[in-house]
Structure 1
Amino acid sequence: MPHPTTYVLVHGAWHDGRSWNRVAPLLTAEGHRVFAPSLTGHGDKADLLGPEVGLTTHTDDVIGLILEHDLNDVVLVGHSYAGLVISNVANRVPERISRLVYLDAMVPTHGENAIDVMPLTQALIDGAAGSAQPWRIPPLPELAAPLGLFGVTDPDDISWLKSTLTDESVLCFQQPAEMDDPAQASIPRAHILCVGNEPEGVARRPIPKFQPNGEPSRVHTLDTGHDAMITKPAELCALLLDNS
């Protein structure tokens, strides 16, 4: 068996650590160490959601986990909004990260926030502005098949996913990514894109041809909806293992 790898799986907006429930056991079964924390405001930390929770909070969550367990050579996987989170983490503790994996994720440059990467995010903020609590954004609604709920279409899976989703703080989408440490640029990166049933009007920024370290970009695709960890866990696991 190859040397065990440490994976830290970071969920996207509105989700929690349980979104990785089908992927984590597959990685563990291959002998690897896996952490899938819930970020502040989600899962077992849902009661901590407030207007002050932002990208910085979530960055601190992941760094706290890494330091608490003294993790090194970490493969840091970020889904969706968590592309911003893992970028920030890599900037703060680059010496502990061996690889970044962006799973259908926002990929920022230094100083960009979620709105810069995906302008549609501003519409969600504007939609919340007239509510009683304008700082909180409810989860996206279920759409007609084949779009479903974040690309999940199985009725049982949709029911389960709905039970895990919680609101997101506006500040998460407004705070900028910090990527000014030259050391983070040397970390290898891989991108996994979910393709085939993207919602209309959701434009994905093209992946640059080259990584910040100068190597050609590693881009993989999965023919599935946005929440690949739920809809295609085995296929996703295979890609994560292949890039170890």
Structure 2
Amino acid sequence: MATYVLVHGAWHDGQVWNRVAPLLTARGHRVFAPSLTGHGDRAHLLGPEVGLTTHVDDVVGLILDEDLRDVVLVGHSYAGMVISTVANRVPERLAGLVYVDAMVPMHGENAIDVMPVTKMMIDGAAAGDEPWRIPPPKLPAPLGLFGVTDPDDVAWLETTLGDESVLCFEQPAEMDDPAQESIPRTYILCVGNEPEGFTRRPVPASRPDGEPVRIHELSSGHDCMITQPAELARLLLGSA
């Protein structure tokens, strides 16, 4: 039995894993899919002081409070920043890191460094009444909402999305503990539905200690846990 902690990306909440979590539990594994501060049942806590450090504290707190060990820590999108820093905090608790179409930082980088287009969203928010608050981005058809195009799925997803704090994208990842360098890493890349002009930073071919990593491509929009849950679950099971 493995223990999975599934961490959602920016603007989403823990419900985004609703189709994947049952597939993992059906195989006998424990699954936690928390909503980070400012999202889901914690949406009322959103404020300008909520940042990457807040979300790292959320996940580390869950792991310690539940006394979880040998955790497969999964991060989607922005949560690649989160799980990277969680690994720095509690490397002894983790059996593996899985980056699902996620930001992959180096030590000291923030989300703007990893994905410069983030700066455009921050600049856009600066012109509003609440410059610390970034609403979910909307892309034109046929890209859908985070790559989700089914009308029913889009309607449901819209009910779960919330704003993100600028500080989440400004605070740097911390990856300076040598112990995190040996944690196995898997990268799952969603391909075939990238926005025009989108450039993905190549994922590392090896982890920091030089050992190889696993890289998979999944034909899906960005929110593959909604559009390709069975295939994503299969890849997650293979990473345990």
Q: Bin the TM-score by the shorter chain.
A: over 0.9
Match of 2:120 among 101, 116, 123: 123
Match of 1:181 among 168, 177, 184: 177
Counting only pairs closer than 5 Å after superposition, residues 1-244 of structure 1 correspond to structure 2 as: 4-145=1-142, 147-244=143-240
Q: How far off its partner does 1:142 sit? A: 4.4
Structure 1: gaps of 5 or more residues: none
Q: TM-score, normalized by length of structure 2?
A: 0.99
Structure 2: gaps of 5 or more residues: none
Whole-angstrom distance in 2 between the partners of 1:213 and 1:11: 27
What amino acid is the match of 1:159?
A
Q: How far off its partner does 1:44 sit? A: 0.2
Whole-angstrom distance in 1 between the partners of 2:198 and 2:48: 26
Local SS of the residue matching 2:23: helix
Deviations along 1:147-187, whole A, 9 cap, x unmatched?
10000000000000000000000000000000000000110
Q: How far off its partner does 1:216 sit? A: 1.7
After TM superposition, where is structure 1 displaced by more than 2 Å over at least 4 residues in a row? none
RMSD across aligned positions (CA): 0.6
Give the paired residue count. Answer: 240
Q: How far off its partner does 1:143 sit? A: 2.3
